[in-house]
């Protein structure tokens, strides 16, 4: 049983029934409308991962047809039903890291992504420094991707280890940053006797089938007073801009959870941690209103054979904008809710 990709116009929507019938797919900015399709036998009902209740209410239907629900007991937001656990690893084969589709972020291996990730790593560390969290000696990054964050931290003289479930990105990490130990696997595969004073999981927890187990395992790997730093798309941003306008519901369809700071705080206290700081970064979280206009213009230029001449003409502008983007991005701050949530949780003594 495998995962199928197709264009929305090819979807056999009539074969789906009731609430699983998808609306027209959105055209995410800079992405194709390639869409994962799930059949009912590939999906499974689940309980709330935070409190264990089966008391959820439907709040949104994503363009891929999957339903977003919210637990009425604790407020956690998640997909239900969702793809069966055994199908999830198939999402993260090499194509996830190289192709532009409705999952992933495009090409992880490009220089553009490497530069953006190094800038983002520096922004995260600057935010932590401003929050009074500067020194740590031994760091683990879970979901390290191609290793840029590990590289930046390693250059500060910190002992660093990276782990990721995808073999392709770990192979790339090892070739880029030879002095850093990188492992293929999950947090469960690490030696429980080896402790860290800092664990980073940046844009990871929304992908997991069992975040509760993740928080438990992470806390067990932390030294006393060690901290866990998490970044994830902020559900508070969805509430602020409206579900129909929130970028997070219209791309990255591999996401299974949508966390608020309140939900993460509950996980923290459940596992013997407390919240040190809560910050917000990234853009305003609204999906691109111009995406359809851009697509129409692109198609018109394609039909008139003008697409490549126009692209070549605009190449210097695109290049400068691309180079400036990391520098112009705002750092994490506490005052205004934005698309990305950064939280630091410290292990109680």
State the burial class of residue 301 (Cβ atoms within 10 Å of its Cβ: 0-12, 13-18, 19+): middle
| 3-class DSSP state of 346 | strand
d(CA 207, CA 211): 9
Shortest Å, Cβ 266 to Zn ion? 9
Shortest Å distance, C-beta 189 to Zn ion: 28
Distance (Å, rounded) from C-alpha 245 to C-alpha 251?
A: 12
- How far is CA 49 from each of CA 143, 243, 284, rounded to the nearest angstrom? 20, 22, 28
Taking the complex as a whole, the smallest distance from the CB of residue 338 to Zn ion amounts, in Å, to 25
Q: How far is the CB of 51 from Zn ion (least distance, A)?
A: 3
Q: Binders of Zn ion among 40-79, rule CB under 5 A?
A: 48, 50-51, 53, 71, 73-74, 76
Kindly state whether residue 116 participates in binding Zn ion, applying the rule CB under 5 A. no
Query: At its nearest, how many Å lie between Zn ion and the CB of residue 173?
Result: 36
User: Using an 8 Å Cβ cutoff, are 278 and 230 in contact?
Assistant: no
User: What's the rounded Cα separation, in Å, for the pair 166 and 49?
Assistant: 24
Shortest CB 141 distance to Zn ion, Å: 28
Query: Of the two residues 48 and 180, which places its CB atom closer to Zn ion in the complex?
Result: 48
Rg of the chain over CA atoms, in angstroms?
20
CB of 341 to Zn ion, least distance (A): 19
| Between 51 and 131, CB nearer to Zn ion | 51
Which lies closer to Zn ion via its Cβ, residue 71 or residue 344? 71
Q: Which is nearer to Zn ion, 71 or 279 (CB)?
A: 71
- On whether the CB atoms of residues 226 and 272 are closer than 8 A, the answer is no
Residue 42 or 70 with smaller CB distance to Zn ion: 70
227, 332, 345 from 277: Cα distances, Å: 11, 11, 7
Stretch 261-290: interaction string toward Zn ion, x if CB under 5 A: ------------------------------
Residue 6 vs 53, nearer CB to Zn ion? 53
What residues form DSSP beta bridges with 20?
A: none
Q: How far is the CB of 47 from Zn ion (least distance, A)?
A: 8
What does DSSP say about strands 67-71 and 77-79: parallel, antiparallel, or unpaired? antiparallel
Cα–Cα distance between 259 and 156 in angstroms, integer? 31
- Judged by beta carbon, residue 48 or residue 79, the one nearer Zn ion is 48
Interface positions, 132-171, toward Zn ion (CB under 5 A): none
- 164/236 with CB nearer Zn ion: 236
DSSP classification of residue 269: H
Could you give the CA distance from residue 196 to residue 75 in angstroms, rounded to a whole number?
Answer: 31
Residue burial 212-231, b: 16+ Cβ < 10 Å; e: rest: bebbebbbebbeeebbbbbb
Cα–Cα dist 6/35, whole Å: 5
CB of 69 to Zn ion, least distance (A): 10
Q: Which is nearer to Zn ion, 1 or 57 (CB)?
A: 57
- Shortest distance, position 54 Cβ to Zn ion, whole Å: 9
Closest CA to 113 of 282, 330, 322: 322
Residue nearer to Zn ion on the CB measure, 74 or 171: 74
Binding site for Zn ion (CB under 5 A): 48, 50-51, 53, 71, 73-74, 76
């Amino acid at each position: 049983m495998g995962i199928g990709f197709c264009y929305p116009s090819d979807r056999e929507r009539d074969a789906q029934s009731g609430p699983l019938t998808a609306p027209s797919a959105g055209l995410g900015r800079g992405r194709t409308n390639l869409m994962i399709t799930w059949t009912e036998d590939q999906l499974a009902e689940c309980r709330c991962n935070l409190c264990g209740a089966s008391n959820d209410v439907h709040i949104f239907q994503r363009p891929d047809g999957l339903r977003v629900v919210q637990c009425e007991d604790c407020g956690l937001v998640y997909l239900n039903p969702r793809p069966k656990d055994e199908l999830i690893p198939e999402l993260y084969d090499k194509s996830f890291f190289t192709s532009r589709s409705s999952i992933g972020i495009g090409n992880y291996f490009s220089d553009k992504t490497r530069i953006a990730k190094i800038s983002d790593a520096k922004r995260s560390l600057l935010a932590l420094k401003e929050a009074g969290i500067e020194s740590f000696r031994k760091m683990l990054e879970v979901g390290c991707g191609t290793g840029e964050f590990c590289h930046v931290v390693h250059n500060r003289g910190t002992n660093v280890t990276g782990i990721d479930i995808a073999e392709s990105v770990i192979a790339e990490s090892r070739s880029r940053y030879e002095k850093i130990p990188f492992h293929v696997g999950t947090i469960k595969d690490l030696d429980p006797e080896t402790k860290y004073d800092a664990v980073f999981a940046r844009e990871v927890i929304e992908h997991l089938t069992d975040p509760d187990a993740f928080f438990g395992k992470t806390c067990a790997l932390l030294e006393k007073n060690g901290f866990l730093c998490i970044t994830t798309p902020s559900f508070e941003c969805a509430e602020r801009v409206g579900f129909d306008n929130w970028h997070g519901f219209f791309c990255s369809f591999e996401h299974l959870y949508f966390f608020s700071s309140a939900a993460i705080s509950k996980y923290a206290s459940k596992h013997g941690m407390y919240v040190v700081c809560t910050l917000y970064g990234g853009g305003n979280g609204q999906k691109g209103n111009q995406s359809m206009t851009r697509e129409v213009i692109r198609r018109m230029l394609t039909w008139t054979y003008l697409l490549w001449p126009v692209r070549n003409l605009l190449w210097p502008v695109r290049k400068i904008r691309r180079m400036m983007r990391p520098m112009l991005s705002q750092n994490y701050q506490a005052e205004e809710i934005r698309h990305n949530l950064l939280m630091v949780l410290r292990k109680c003594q």
